């Protein structure tokens, strides 16, 4: 199993599609449904044995949650803020443009 290349709070963009987002969770390997996996066109379907990232994502039209393989992510160094509405619930924006997780209350 690979060590995750990206970390929670990091801003990334998709290698093939025009969207970017902030990572809020990491799975060490694929942990979504088989139906979701099979919906990816075979010619671009990633290997399951790599980290997968949950993103608070945005494109030019909307904000949403994305689930993306490590091989399809690149670091986003644009320093542009991500406008997803849930960012302020989960992260503090740092002066350098990065995001750091807010401390969670424990039950």
Contact 71, 15 (CB under 8 A): yes
**Cβ partners under 8 Å of residue 22, min gap 6:** 9, 10, 11, 12, 55, 56, 82, 84, 87, 91, 99
pLDDT score at 72: 96
Nearest CA-CA partner of 9 in 56, 46, 73: 56
- pLDDT tens digits for range 22-38: 999 999 999 999 999 99
The pLDDT of residue 103 is above 80: no
Nearest CA-CA partner of 12 in 56, 44, 45: 56
The pLDDT of residue 104 is above 90: no
pLDDT score at 1: 59
């Amino acid at each position: 199993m690979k060590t995750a290349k990206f970390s929670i709070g990091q801003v990334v963009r998709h290698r093939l599609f025009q969207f970017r987002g902030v990572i809020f969770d990491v799975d060490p390997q694929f942990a979504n449904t088989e139906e979701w996996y099979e919906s990816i066109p075979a010619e671009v379907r990633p290997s399951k044995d790599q980290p997968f990232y949950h993103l608070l994502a945005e494109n030019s039209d909307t904000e949403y949650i994305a689930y993306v393989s490590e091989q399809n992510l690149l670091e986003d160094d644009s320093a542009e803020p991500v406008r997803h509405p849930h960012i302020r619930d989960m992260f503090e924006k740092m002066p350098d443009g990065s995001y750091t997780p807010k401390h969670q209350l424990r039950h």
